[in-house]
Structure 1
Amino acid sequence: MKRSPTLSLHPIAWASLMALAQAGTAYAQTVAEPAAATATATPAVSEAPAPAATSAATGASSDGLKLDAIVVTGTSTARSKMKQSVSISTLGAEQLQNSTATSAAEVLRAVPGIRAESSGGEGNANLGVRGLPMSDGGGRYVQLQEDGLPVMLIGDISFATADEFVRADYSVNAIDVIRGGSASTLSTNSPGAIINFRSHNGKDSAGGAVGMSFGLDHRQQRLDFDWGGAIGDRLYAHVGGFERMGQGSRNTDLTAENGGQVKASITKEFDNGYLRLNVKHLDDRTPTYLPVPVALNGNTISAIPGVDPRNAYFINSNFPIDTVIDRNGNPQVTNPADGLHVQVDAIGLETQLKVGGGWTVTDRFRRSANSGRFTGVFPAGGQPAGYTGTTPVFSANLFNTSLDDMGNVFNDVRAQKEIKLDTSKVTVTGGLFSGVQNVAQTWYWNNYNIGLTGNGAALYNNAGSPTTAPVGNAPTTWGGCCFRAIDVRITAMAPYAAATWENGPLSIDASVRRDTQDGSGWQRFGSAGGTTMGAWNAAVDKVSFSSSANSYSLGGNYEHNRNLASFARVSHGVSWKSPDRVIWDTRAAAGLDPYPLNEVDQLEGGVKFRRAGFSAFLTAFFAKTKEGAGYEVTSQTVKQNAYDSKGIEAETTFSTGNFRLASGATLTKAQITSGANSGNIPRRQANLLYQIAPSYTLDAVEIGGAIIGTTKSYAQDDNVVELPAYTVVNAFANYEPQKNTLISLGVNNLFNAIGYTEAEAQGSQYVARSINGRTAKLSFKYMF
C-alpha cells in the first residue's frame, strides 16, 4: 500500500513540520493579530515582491508584463524589469491556474524563446532556448531552480532530467524565466536560461485554498491545498502540496498516477534580515510517454492503424512485472505500471543579513535526497526476424532504469554592497556556489514483443503465443549497451563576481564566473549472460576527471522614460554534459582526455515598452554554440557539432476593459556549422514558435484559452524526415458563484491535434512521440 506523503517524510523534515504546526497552534491560542498587520509588515531586508495576480473581479492590469516587478533570478542586483539588461518573463499564479497544463514543463510553452517539448508526461521533457541545439534529451543549456538553487546540477542526465523532480501546484507563487544574459555567470550550466520556481513563503499572501479536480474524459482525481500567513511576531509560515490518483492522460486499465507532494516553510524576520527554513517531500508515480511506432511515407510521418500517437500507451494489466538485475547483481522484481517514480526529501535554509559596513550577505543551502525509477516502452524495431506468429507485433525495449541516488547538496553565498558616488552608484557582488551531485543509476532493459495496438496491447513470444515474459534480456538490447551501473559524484565549485554602475537612466553591469567540476566514481557493464555485473576492470571502470571553464557577461540598459527602455548584452557561457553520456569514452572518464564542454557565445539587444494597456518586450539574439562529444543511446551515435542561431523573440500583452490578450513569438534561423550536416537545420528546431492567449471577464465569469503552435521542423540533423507544423488550442472557463469559490472547466488540446515533437529510425521501423490528445477536467477551488 502506498504511504501518505506526510507519513513518510525525512525525519528532519517531519520534525520541522511538527515544530511549525506547534508554533502556529501556540500562537493562535495566545494572540490574534489583526489582518492589517499581516498585509503591511515589511522585512528589514527587502525580498523581491511577487507579481500581483489579476483576479476576475478586478480585470486585467494595464501593464500585463509587470515591467516594474523586481527581478532577482539570474541577476546580480535586485531591480525592476524595466531597469534590467536581461530578457525575463514571469508566470504568475493566475496564468498557472488557467494554463490547463498537465506538467510543470508544459507550463513553459507560454514563454517566448523557450522550446518545451513536454510530450513525455510529468517528466523527461526536452527544453531548448533561442535555437541552442537539442542534440540530446533534457535541457543541456537550461537550469531549473527552486527558490534560487538548482534542482539538478546538470540538465541532460539520462532518465533524470530536472523537471522530473519539480511539480507545479498551489505552493508555487510564480515562475521566473531569464533567457540568455547574465544566466551564464549567475548559475552553473545555464548559458541558455534559468527557470526559477518561486514558492510561497507565508508573507507574500495570507490565507489559503483547497481544490479538487476531476478528469472528465479520463480517470483522474487530484487534491491541491495551501495555507500561509503570520503565526507570530514577524514569524510567517506556509504549507502546500497535492495528492492525486488515476490513469493519466492516456488510456490504461491501471492506476498509473499515484502520489503527491508536501512543501512547507517558516520565516523569521529580524531587524537586520530574515531566516527561512523550507522542506519538501515528493513521492509521485506517473506514466512515461515515449515514442510509438508510426509509418513513414517518403519524408512524411503518419499513424499506423490501431496505434494513435496521441493516446497510445502499452503498459497495462497484460504487462505485470519486469525482472531485472540490480547494481549488486541480485534479481529484482519491478512493476512497469510505476512508470516514472520519483522520491525527494529536501531541507533548505535561506538567510539574508545586513552585517555592517553597508554589506548584505545572502546564503541559500539545500540538501535533497533524490531517487526513483524510470520505466517506459521504447520501440526498437518492427516485427522481429524470429517471430512466427500471426498477430502483428513490434519489438520494444523496456527502459527500466533505477535512479539509485540522484541526490545533491548545494550552497550559494553572496555578499553585496552599494557604493554611492557623486552622481552615480556602484553595486558590487561577490559569491561562491558549491555543491555535490550524485549520478548513480542501474540500467537493465529487457526486450519484448508487443501487440501492435494502442489500447490493451498484449505481450507475445516468438511463436505468437501470449506471454508475460521478455523475449530477450539486457545483453541483447541495442547490442548489449544497456546492462550498466554507474556511480559518479560531481563536485562543483564556482566563485563569481559582478558589478553594476548606475547613473540616472543608464546602467551597466558586468559579471564573471569560474566553474570547476570534478568527477569521481565508477561504471560497470553487465555480463554477457545477463545475470550479474561484469568483473571489475580498473582501466575501464574507474571514473576520475577534472574540468574548469570561465564565463562572462556584459550588459547595459538605458531607460529613455518610465515607459520605454532599451538594452544590449554580450555573454559567454558553458555547460557540462552529464557523465552518463561521456564516460562511454574511457579516456575522458579517466581524465586522460579533456572532459567535453559545451560553449555558447551570445549577443542580444532589445526594447521594453508600455502604453495605454499595451506592453511589449522585444529581443533580438545571435548565438554560436560549440558542443563537446556525447553519446546517444537510442541512435548508438556520438554527437559533436557547432551551431549558429539568430532571431527575434517577442512578448506582448494588451488589455481594454474586460478583455486581455497575451501573446508571444520566437522567430529563429538556426543551422549546423560543422560536420557532415553542415548547413542543415538542427533537429527539432522550428523557424517559428508562437503563443496567443485571449481572455474575457464578464461579472462572475471568465473565459479564455491559448493557441500554441510551431512551424515544421526536421526529425534529425540530416533534414530528411519532417515533423509537421501543428497548432494546439487550449480553453478554460471560470465561474465564481460566490466570493472565494471558483469552478473551472479546462480543456487541453481542444481539437485533438497531433503534434510530433521527436522521431527517429529504429531498425526497419520509424518511431515518433506526439503531444497528448484532448483531455478535459473540472475543478473546484475554495479560497480562505
Structure 2
Amino acid sequence: MCDFRPNIFHKQRGAVARVALAGVSLASLSIAALAQEATSPRRGITNPPAEASVQLETLTVEGQGGPAASVTPGAAVRRIESPTGPVDGYVATRSATATKTNTPLIETPQSITVVGREQIDAQKAQTLTQATQYVAGVYSGTFGADSRVDYFTIRGFVASDYGIYRDGLQLLNYGFGTFKVETFGLERIEILRGPAAVLFGAGSPGGIINQITKRPTLDPFGYVEVGGGSFDQKYAAFDVGGPADESGHWFYRLTGFGRTGGTQVDGAPEDRGYIAPALTYKPDGATKLTVLTSYQYDNTAVTSNFLPYSGTVRRNLSGLYIPRSLNLGDANFNTFRRQQASAGYEFEHAFDETWTIRQNLRYSFSESFQNSDIGQLGYSDAAQTRLARYQFLTSSKIGIFQIDNQAEARFSDGLFRHDLLFGLDYKNFQLHDNQGTNFGNFYAVPDISIINPSYGPATGRPSPYLVNADSFTQLGLYFQDQIKLTDRLTLVLGGRQDFADNRVVDKLAAGASSNGRSDNAFTYRAALIYNYDFGLAPYISYSTSFQPLLGTDANNQAFKPETGDQIEGGVKFEPIGAGYFLTLAGFDIHRQNVQTPVPNTFFSSQIGQVRSTGFEAQFTLNLAEGLNAVAAYTIYGLTTERSADPATIGKVPVNVPENFASLFLDYTIPVGEWRGFGFGGGVRYIGRSYADTLNTLRVPEYVLFDAQVHYNWDRWRLTVNATNIADRRFVSSCQSSLSCFYGDARRVVASLAYKW
C-alpha cells in the first residue's frame, strides 16, 4: 500500500594524434609505454591527460624507455578521448566503467553504451531517466513522471536502487532515502549491461549506470544558458573553468543550475538548485589530484500518482480516464523536499611506465522529507469517480563514506602483455528511516473526485509504523588481468572477495531491538574478445554477481544477499575512420533472492529466482557532414523460475516491458547560407507489460515521438525541443491493479546559450 520502489556547438572532427599538450610535463607518457601499445592500434596511451585541442609548436615527447618523438610544427592536435572527458559527437571510444582501467570500448568484452554531453544537450535531457531513453537494454521511467527519483530497469531487472553510480562510487537508494543527480553537471553517462560485482561489489545483474561528473579543463572556457517551457518552467545554468594559475599546475571548474516551475500534475512544483565546484592539481605529468564537490536542493511533490488500472489503462465503469494532471494531495500539502551534498577526491600517481596507483574517496549526504496523500487504494464508490486515499509521511537521512584504492601494472612477461589491476574498497552506509501513515492514528483521509477535485489541509499527523537505523558496511578485495594472448586476442580474468555486514535497529520495538546478518561471497568474471584489423570484435563472457540487501522483511528478518550469474556473447563493429559503432549482444541471466512487494502491506519478500534471456543492439553514428544518430533495439524473455507463490512460476514480473526500440537523428547543415541550422527527432517504441503477477492484466504498447530544431551562429545557440510531441496519454507501467503510473506528457523546452 505504499511506494515500494526501492559540447553543444558544431565541431570539426579531425584525426586523433597521440601526443600530450604543451606546457604539461610528459614524464608519464613514456615511449616504452607507447611501444608496448604499438601492436594494438586501438589502445593508444594508457592514461591520456584531460582532453583539449591546440596548435602546437615543435613538441618533443621524451620518455624513460626510448628515444624522443616529435610532432610537426603548427599541426592541429586532438587529444585521445579521456574516459572521464567529453565524447566527440555521439560515438564514444573509451570507458573506465567496465574494467576500471582506460580501455577502448572495442576491446571491452561486455556490452556498454556511453551517452556524451553533446547527445544529452541535443535531446535536452533534464533527468537521468530522459538521458537513457535511447539506450539498449534500459527501460527508463518505470514509474512514470516521477520528479523525485530516477527509476529504470536494465535487462529486465530493477537497477535504480543498487545500480546507480557517480564517478565509479555507488549512490545507494534504499526506501525513501535517495539521491538524484542534476544532468547539467555530468560530462557523460555510461550504461554497463550485465553483472559488475567483480569490480564494484554491488549492482543488479542486469547492469549499472555510472554518471561521470564534469571536471576541470586545461583550456579556459565559459558557458551560460537560459531557457524555459512547458508547465511554466524557467531555468538558468552556467559552466566556467580552466587554469587557475600561471604555472599550469592548478585548474578549476564551477558548474551551476537553477530551475523553478511546475509539472504535469496541478500544483506540483519542480524547483532545483545545484552548484558543483571542482579543482585539479597537477604538480607534474605523473601526478594528479582532482577534488569534486556538489550541493543540490530539490523542492517538488509526488507526481507519479498510484492510480487504478481501471481509469488509466482502460476506461473505468463511468467511461472515464483519470486526468494526468490530477493532484491526489494539495498544492500546500503534497510535499517532497531533498537536499544532498557530496565531497571527495580522485588521486592518481604513475611511478613509471609500469605501475600506477589511484585512490577515489567520497562522502555523500542526503536528507529528504515527504508528506502527501497517496492513492493506491482504488475507488471509494461504485461509479468509480472517487479515489480513496491515505496519508504518508517519511523523513530520511543518509550518509555514505566510500574509498576505492587501486594499483595498476602494465607489463610484458615475455609471452603475454598484461594490464593487471588490484583493488581494495570500503563502503559505510548509514540510514535513519522514519515512515508513518494515518492508519495507526485511526483517522480517515477524505476521498477525492476525479471529475471535480476539492482540496483542504491535512486531516491529521501520521503515526510511525517504522523507525529504523540501518547500518551497512562492505569491504572488498579484487583483482583483474587483461591479458594479450596475441596481438588480437584478449583474455580478461577477474575475481573479488566481499565481506558485508547489515544491521537494522528497530527503534519502535521494546528496547530498540537489533537485527542483521553478515555475509561474504566470491564473484568472478572470465571473458575473451578478438579484434580483427577491419574493426570487428566478437566476444564472450561469464560473470557472477553479489548484492547485499538492506532492511528486513515482514517478519523482521534481514534479507539474504541477492546473487546472480550471466553468460553473454556478442560482437562489436567499429571500422577505423568510419564514424560509427555497432554492438550486438545476447545474454542469459539468473537472479536469485529477488525482492518483490507483499500485496496490501508495507514490506517486501524474496520470491526466489527470475531469469532474463534476450538480445540487444546499439548503434551510434557521427558523420563529418553534420549527421549524428543513435538507434537501439531490445527483446528479452523474463520469467519467474522459483517463487513462494506457485501460481507465479513461469509468469513475467510486473512493471517490465520485454520489447522496446528507439531511433534518434540530428542533422546540422555544415556549409552554405543555412550553415548552423539543424533539426532532428526521435521515435520510441515500448512493448506491452503486465499489471499483475498472474499476467491477466496487460499494459499496452505505445509509441512516442520527439523533435527539435536548433541554430548555431558565432558563439550562440538557440534550440527548441519537444518530447512526446503528440501528447499521447500512456501508462508507463503498473505495479498492481491499484498502482499504475502515467508517463510524461508533452514537454517543450526552448533555450538560448552562449559560449566563450
Q: TM-score, structure 1 length as denominator?
A: 0.79
The aligned counterpart of 1:499 is 481
| Deviation at residue 445 of structure 1 after TM alignment | 2.2
The aligned counterpart of 1:13 is none
Code of the residue aligned with 2:523 in structure 1: it is S
Code of the residue aligned with 1:667 in structure 2: it is I
- The question of 1:692 aligning with 2:663 is answered yes
Equivalent residues of 1:38, 1:230 under 8 A apart: no
The aligned counterpart of 1:145 is 165
The aligned counterpart of 2:374 is 378
> Taking every aligned residue pair, what percent have the same amino acid on both sides?
19
The aligned counterpart of 1:363 is 359
Code of the residue aligned with 1:211 in structure 2: it is E
Q: Structure 1 residues 50, 301: CA separation in 2 closer, same or farther (over 3 Å shift)?
A: farther
Please, which of 600, 603, 618 is the counterpart of residue 584 of structure 2? Answer: 618
SS in 2 for 1:82: helix
Equivalent residues of 2:393, 2:462 under 8 A apart: no
Corresponding residue pairs, total = 667
Equivalent residues of 1:183, 1:192 under 8 A apart: no
Please, which of 159, 173, 185 is the counterpart of residue 176 of structure 2? Answer: 159
Q: Structure 1 residues 752, 300: CA separation in 2 closer, same or farther (over 3 Å shift)?
A: closer
Q: After the TM superposition, which residues 704-719 of structure 1 pair with which residues of structure 2 at under 5 Å, given as runs?
A: 704-719=680-695
Please, which of 470, 473, 476 is the counterpart of residue 488 of structure 1? Answer: 470
| Deviation at residue 628 of structure 1 after TM alignment | 4.8
C-alpha distance in 1 between matches for 2:373 and 2:619: 40
The aligned counterpart of 2:83 is none
| Deviation at residue 662 of structure 1 after TM alignment | 1.7
The aligned counterpart of 2:619 is 652
Q: Structure 1 residues 779, 577: CA separation in 2 closer, same or farther (over 3 Å shift)?
A: same
The aligned counterpart of 2:752 is 780
The aligned counterpart of 1:98 is 122
Equivalent residues of 1:300, 1:721 under 8 A apart: no
The aligned counterpart of 1:638 is 605
C-alpha distance in 2 between matches for 1:48 and 1:302: 58
C-alpha distance in 2 between matches for 1:110 and 1:267: 33
Structure with greater proportional helix content? 1
C-alpha distance in 2 between matches for 1:173 and 1:206: 17
Q: Structure 1 residues 644, 101: CA separation in 2 closer, same or farther (over 3 Å shift)?
A: same
SS in 1 for 2:430: strand
Code of the residue aligned with 2:502 in structure 1: it is G
Code of the residue aligned with 1:693 in structure 2: it is F
List per-residue Cα deviations over 1:510-532 (Å, max 9, x = no partner).
1111222212341134xxxxxxx
Q: After the TM superposition, which residues 590-629 of structure 1 pair with which residues of structure 2 at under 5 Å, given as runs?
A: 595-611=559-575, 612-628=578-594
Q: TM-score, structure 2 length as denominator?
A: 0.82
C-alpha distance in 1 between matches for 2:50 and 2:601: 44
C-alpha distance in 1 between matches for 2:415 and 2:507: 63
List per-residue Cα deviations over 1:513-565 (Å, max 9, x = no partner).
1222212341134xxxxxxxxx6245xx3233212222111111110115111
Please, which of 653, 660, 671 is the counterpart of residue 639 of structure 2? Answer: 671
SS in 2 for 1:407: strand
- The question of 1:428 aligning with 2:420 is answered yes
Cα RMSD over matched residues? Answer: 3.1
The aligned counterpart of 2:156 is 131
The aligned counterpart of 1:585 is 555
The aligned counterpart of 1:747 is 722
Deviates most, 439-448 or 361-370: 439-448
| Deviation at residue 92 of structure 1 after TM alignment | 0.8
C-alpha distance in 2 between matches for 1:145 and 1:62: 19
List per-residue Cα deviations over 1:22-72 (Å, max 9, x = no partner).
xxxxxxxxxxxxxx997874776564678999xxxxxxx9997636x2221
Q: Structure 1 residues 288, 50: CA separation in 2 closer, same or farther (over 3 Å shift)?
A: farther
Please, which of 401, 406, 410 is the counterpart of residue 418 of structure 1? Answer: 410
Equivalent residues of 2:392, 2:462 under 8 A apart: no
SS in 1 for 2:119: helix
Equivalent residues of 1:48, 1:71 under 8 A apart: no
Q: Structure 1 residues 131, 292: CA separation in 2 closer, same or farther (over 3 Å shift)?
A: closer
| Deviation at residue 223 of structure 1 after TM alignment | 0.9
User: Which structure has the higher relative contact order (CA within 8 Å, separation 6+)?
Assistant: 1
C-alpha distance in 2 between matches for 1:566 and 1:52: 32
- The question of 1:759 aligning with 2:734 is answered yes
Code of the residue aligned with 2:744 in structure 1: it is N
Q: Structure 1 residues 712, 687: CA separation in 2 closer, same or farther (over 3 Å shift)?
A: same
Equivalent residues of 2:554, 2:605 under 8 A apart: no
- The question of 1:218 aligning with 2:231 is answered yes
Q: Structure 1 residues 490, 63: CA separation in 2 closer, same or farther (over 3 Å shift)?
A: closer
Q: Structure 1 residues 49, 70: CA separation in 2 closer, same or farther (over 3 Å shift)?
A: farther
Q: After the TM superposition, which residues 234-253 of structure 1 pair with which residues of structure 2 at under 5 Å, given as runs?
A: 234-252=249-267
Please, which of 67, 86, 93 is the counterpart of residue 110 of structure 2? Answer: 86
Code of the residue aligned with 2:171 in structure 1: it is V
C-alpha distance in 2 between matches for 1:557 and 1:380: 49
List per-residue Cα deviations over 1:282-301 (Å, max 9, x = no partner).
1111232223434539x963
Equivalent residues of 2:260, 2:271 under 8 A apart: yes
The aligned counterpart of 1:393 is 386
- The question of 1:720 aligning with 2:696 is answered yes
The aligned counterpart of 1:195 is 209
| Deviation at residue 107 of structure 1 after TM alignment | 1.1
Equivalent residues of 1:290, 1:378 under 8 A apart: no
C-alpha distance in 1 between matches for 2:692 and 2:657: 12
User: What are structure 2's unaligned runs of at least 5 residues?
Assistant: 1-18, 29-45, 54-85, 439-443, 670-674
SS in 2 for 1:302: coil
Equivalent residues of 2:355, 2:408 under 8 A apart: yes
- The question of 1:453 aligning with 2:450 is answered yes
Q: After the TM superposition, which residues 29-428 of structure 1 pair with which residues of structure 2 at under 5 Å, given as runs?
A: 41=24, 47=47, 66=91, 69-117=93-141, 119-132=144-157, 134=158, 139-140=160-161, 143-152=163-172, 155=173, 157-161=174-178, 164-169=179-184, 171-180=185-194, 182=196, 184-203=198-217, 206-215=220-229, 217-232=230-245, 233-252=248-267, 256-271=269-284, 272-294=286-308, 296=310, 301-302=314-315, 308-317=322-331, 320-321=332-333, 336=334, 338-339=335-336, 341-355=337-351, 358-384=354-380, 393-403=386-396, 405-428=397-420
| Deviation at residue 93 of structure 1 after TM alignment | 0.8
C-alpha distance in 1 between matches for 2:507 and 2:87: 59
C-alpha distance in 2 between matches for 1:497 and 1:672: 33
User: What are structure 1's unaligned runs of at least 5 residues?
Assistant: 1-35, 54-60, 322-335, 460-466, 476-481, 526-534, 590-594
| Deviation at residue 425 of structure 1 after TM alignment | 1.0
